[in-house]
Amino acid sequence: MDNHHAHESQGGSTEIGREALIPNPALRPLTFLIGTWRTEGTHPKVPDRTFHGRTSFAWHQGGAFLIAHSEIDEPEVPSGVAIFGSDDVAKQLFMIYFDERGVSRKYDVTVGENEMTWRRDNPEFSQWMTTRAEPGGDRMTSTGQLSEKGGPWQDDLSLIYMRADPA
């Protein structure tokens, strides 16, 4: 028995599957998101209101995934968590989202230079949002739209991200 397996068999704390806790090269274009951000936003369904919150993006499981946590102080916008991953054969990125309402959704993700768009097309609820980093990397903007029950596309939450931690 080699030392690695001997250590595990003696009740050690070796993490199962630790060899896979490595950076996922397909997610590298999302590096511009990494950090903790203060957010301010608006939503057309709640006029004359500014939403304040925080979002963090961090590598998860050694970079195998990217995880995002978001919260908005005002109750009209739910706090949520999202995990980004990839399918290397299909050459696609995905985001799995879950929020405090119990809402769970899968989005397709596309990336450009310092830009990411997530999109979901569903007859009941479709939605997209694009996040772009501004030059310097300390500010990002997000804009998006939604469509309910196959209706027309309408403006959705817009956010400005201001870096809250050193780059």
Give residue-wise pLDDT tens across range 41-57: 999 988 889 999 999 99
Three-class secondary structure of residue 45 per DSSP: coil
Q: Label the pairing between strands 46-60 and 139-148.
A: unpaired
The model's pTM: 0.87
Parent domain of 141: 18-163
Note whether residue 29 is domain-resident: yes
Q: What is the CATH number of the domain that holds 29?
A: 2.40.128.20
Q: Label the pairing between strands 158-163 and 92-99.
A: unpaired
Note whether residue 3 is domain-resident: no
Note whether residue 84 is domain-resident: yes
Return averaged pLDDT per consecutive 10 residues of the chain, 167 residues in all: 43 78 96 97 91 97 97 93 97 98 97 96 96 96 96 96 84
Note whether residue 132 is domain-resident: yes
Domain count, the chain: 1
| pLDDT confidence of residue 63 | 95
